[in-house]
Chain A
Amino acid sequence: MTNHWIDIKNADVVVVMGGNAAENHPVGFSWVTEAMQHNNAKLVVVDPRFNRSAAVADYYANLRSGSDIAFFLGLIRYLIDTNQVNYDYVKTFTNASFIVREDYGYEDGLFTGYDPKTGSYDKESWFYELDDQGYAMVDESLEHPRCVWNLLKQHVDRYTIDKVVNITGTPKAQYEQVCQVIGATHANNKVATFLYALGWTQHTKGAQNIRSMAMVQLILGNMGMLGGGVNALRGHSNIQGITDMGLLCQNLPGYLKLPSDKDVDLQAHFEHHAPKPLRPGQTNYWQNYPKFFVSLMKSFWGEAATPENNFGYEWMPKWDMQYDVLRYFEMMKQGKVNGYIVQGFNVLSSLPNKAKINEALAKLKFLVVVDPLAVETATFWRNKKLFNEVDTANIMTEVFRLPTGCFAEEEGTIVNSGRWMQWHWKGANSPKEAKADGEIWAGILAELKRLYAEEGGALPEAVAALDWQYVNPANPTAEEVAKQLNGQDVATGRQLSSFGELKADGSTACGCWIYTGSWTEQGNMMARRDNADPSGKGITPGWSFAWPANRRILYNRASADVNGNPWDKDRTLMEWTDGKWTGIDVPDFNSKLDPQASAKTGFLMQPEGHARLFANRLMAEGPFPEHYEPMESPIGTNPMHPEVITNPAVRIFADDKAQLGDFEDFPYVGTSYHLTEHFNNWTTHSRLNAIAQPQHFIEMDEVLAKQKGIANGDWVKVSSKRNYIVTKALVTKRLQPYVVNGKTLHTIGIPLHANYEGLTREAYEINSLTPYVGDANTQTPEYKAFLVNIEKAEAI
Chain B
Amino acid sequence: MSARDIILRSGTSELTPPAQARHAVDKVAKLFDATLCTGCKGCQVACSEWNDLRAEVGTFQGSYQNPMDLSSECWTLMQFHEVMDDNKFHWNFTHTACMHCDEPSCLMACSTEGAIFQRADGTVDFDADKCIGCGYCTTACPFSVPKLSPKDHKAYKCTMCSDRLAAGLEPSCVKTCVTGALKFGTREDMLFLAEQRVAQLHANGKTKAGIYNPAGVGGTGMIMIFEDITNPEAYGMPKDPVVSKPNTLKQDWLKPLGTAGIIGMAGLALVHRIAVGRNRVQEDEQNNGSEE
**A30 pairs with B66, CB closer than 8 A:** no
At the interface, is chain B mostly helix, strand, loop or mixed?
Answer: loop
Determine whether the beta carbon of B178 is less than 8 Å from that of A692. Answer: no
Asked, given contacts A33-B179, A37-B180, A55-B91, whether A695 binds B59 with beta carbons under 8 Å apart, the answer is yes
Cα A694 to Cα B63 in complex, Å, equals: 11
Query: Which chain B positions have C-beta within 8 A of A691?
Result: 48, 54-58, 66-67
Q: Of residues 240 to 275 in B, which have CB atoms within 8 Å of A's CB atoms? A: none
Give the chain B neighbours of A56 by CB distance below 8 A: 35-38, 179
Q: Mark A672-689, 1 if CB is under 8 A from B, else 0.
A: 000111000000000111
Size category of the binding interface on chain B? 35 or more
A677-B41 contact in complex given A730-B63, A759-B57, C-beta closer than 8 Å: yes
The answer to whether residues A694 and B66 also contact, given A22-B38, A677-B41, A688-B45 and a CB cut-off of 8 A, is yes
- Measured CB to CB, the nearest residue on chain A to B203 is A40
A675–B35 alpha-carbon span in the complex (Å): 20
Q: Quick one: which of A742-796 are within 8 Å of B by CB?
A: 759-761
Interface residue A54 (Cβ < 8 Å from any Cβ of B): yes
Does B93 have its Cβ within 8 Å of any Cβ on chain A? Answer: yes
Contacts between chains A and B (CB distance < 8 A), count: 111
Interface string of A50-84 (1 = CB under 8 A from B): 10111110100000000000000000000000000
Expressed in whole angstroms, the minimum distance between the Cβ of A135 and any Cβ of chain B is 50
Which residues 68-107 of B have a CB within 8 angstroms of A?
A: 82, 84, 89-93
Expressed in whole angstroms, the minimum distance between the Cβ of B239 and any Cβ of chain A is 22
B41 vs chain A, min Cβ distance (A):
5
- In the complex, whether A276 has a CB less than 8 A from a CB of chain B is no
Looking at B38, B56, B63, the one whose CB has the most chain A CB atoms below 10 A away is: B38
**Contacting residues, chain B, for A733 (C-beta < 8 A):** 82, 84, 89
Interchain CB contact under 8 A, B54 and A694: no
Give the residues in chain B near A695, CB-CB below 8 Å: 58-60
Select one of A675, A692, A696, A759 contacting B45, CB under 8 A. A692
Q: When the two chains form their complex, are residues A55 and B39 in contact, meaning their CB atoms are under 8 A apart?
A: yes
CB distance from A698 to the nearest CB of B (A): 10
* Interface set, chain A 15-56, CB cutoff 8 A to B: 22-23, 26-27, 29-30, 33-34, 36-37, 40, 50, 52-56
Residues in B neighbouring A694, C-beta threshold 8 A: 57-60, 66
Q: Which A residues, 237 to 267, have Cβ-Cβ distances below 8 Å to chain B? A: none
B176 to chain A, nearest CB (A): 10
- The answer to whether A30 and B60 touch across the interface, beta carbons within 8 angstroms, is no
* Distance to closest chain A CB from B70 (angstroms): 13
Task: Collect the chain A residues with CB atoms within 8 Å of residue B233's CB.
Answer: none
Contact with B along A603-638 (1 / 0, CB 8 A): 000000000000000000000000000000000000
Question: Which of B57, B93, B181, B197 is the one whose CB lies under 8 Å from A761?
Answer: B57
Alpha-carbon gap, A695 to B66, bound state (A): 10
* B44 contacts partner chain A, Cβ-Cβ < 8 Å: yes
Chain B: CB-nearest residue to A736: B89
What residues of chain B lie closer than 8 Å to A58, measured between beta carbons?
A: 204
Q: How many Å from the CB of B202 to the closest CB on chain A?
A: 13
B282 sits at the interface (CB 8 A): no
A696 to B35, CA, bound (A): 28
Taken together as a complex, chains A and B put the C-alpha atoms of A590 and B63 apart, in Å, by 55
User: How long is the Cα–Cα vector from A696 to B66 in the complex, in angstroms?
Assistant: 12
Closest to B180 in A: A33
Q: How far is the CA of A507 from the CA of B197 in the complex (A)?
A: 60
- Chain B residues with CB below 8 A from A33, complex form: 36, 179-181
Shortest Cβ gap from A674 to chain B (Å): 12
Give the contacts of B13-72 with A (CB-CB under 8 A): 35-42, 44-45, 48-49, 54-64, 66-67
B178 touches A27 (CB 8 A): yes
In the complex, whether B149 has a CB less than 8 A from a CB of chain A is no
**A350 an interface residue at 8 Å Cβ cutoff?**
no
Q: Is the Cβ of B40 less than 8 Å from the Cβ of A676?
A: yes
Chain A residues with CB under 8 Å of B197's CB are 37
A34 to chain B: which residues have CB within 8 Å? Answer: 180
B200 CB within 8 Å of chain A: yes
Give the CA-CA distance A33 to B39 in the complex, in Å: 13
Residues in chain A near residue B54, CB distance under 8 A = 687-688, 691
- A61 CB to closest chain B CB (Å) equals 13
Nearest-neighbor residue (CB-CB) of B55 within chain A: A691
Q: A675, A690, A731, A734: which contacts B91 (Cβ < 8 A)?
A: A734
Q: Which residue from A53, A675, A688 sits with its C-beta under 8 Å from B48?
A: A688
Q: Give the chain B neighbours of A388 by CB distance below 8 A.
A: none
- Shortest A283–chain B CB gap in Å is 40
On chain B, the residues within 8 Å of A596 by CB distance are none
Cα(A146)–Cα(B55), bound, Å: 66
**Residue of A29, A52, A734 contacting most chain B CB atoms (<10 Å):** A52
- A696 in contact with B48 (CB, 8 Å): no
Please name all residues of chain B whose beta carbon is closer than 8 Å to the beta carbon of A731 when the two chains form the complex: 62
Complex: chain B residue closest to A730, CB-CB: B62
A30-B179, A55-B93, A692-B45 known; A22 vs B61 contact (CB < 8 Å): no
* Smallest CB gap from A690: residue in B: B57
Residues of chain B contacted by A338 (CB below 8 angstroms): none
Q: Which residues of the other chain, B, contact A154 by a CB distance below 8 angstroms?
A: none
Contact partners of A27 in chain B: CB under 8 A: 178
Question: Whole-angstrom distance between the alpha carbons of A33 and B66 in the complex?
Answer: 25
> Which B residues touch A52, using CB under 8 A?
38-40, 91
Q: Which residue of A lies closest to B49 (CB)?
A: A688
- A713: chain B residues within 8 A (beta carbon): 60-62
A712 within 8 A of B: yes
Residues of chain A within 8 A of B67, CB atoms compared: 691
Minimal Cβ-Cβ distance residue in A for B83: A733
Q: Name which residue of chain B comes closest to A26, CB basis.
A: B40
**Which of A37, A689, A732, A761: most chain B Cβ within 10 A?**
A37
A693 touches B (CB below 8 Å): yes
Cross-chain pairs A/B with CB under 8 angstroms, 28 sampled: A23-B38, A26-B42, A29-B38, A30-B180, A36-B36, A37-B197, A52-B38, A52-B39, A52-B91, A54-B91, A55-B92, A55-B93, A56-B35, A56-B36, A56-B37, A58-B204, A676-B39, A688-B48, A689-B45, A691-B57, A694-B60, A695-B60, A696-B60, A728-B60, A728-B62, A730-B60, A733-B84, A734-B82
Name B's A-contacting residues (CB within 8 A).
35-42, 44-45, 48-49, 54-64, 66-67, 82, 84, 89-93, 178-181, 197, 200, 204
Q: Which residues of A contact B (CB under 8 A)?
A: 22-23, 26-27, 29-30, 33-34, 36-37, 40, 50, 52-56, 58, 675-677, 687-697, 712-713, 728, 730-734, 759-761
List 6 additional A-B contacts (Cβ < 8 Å) besides A29-B38, A691-B56, A733-B89. A26-B178, A52-B39, A56-B38, A56-B179, A693-B64, A730-B63
Q: Which 3 residue pairs across A and B have the least CB separation, nearest first? A: A713-B62, A22-B38, A695-B60
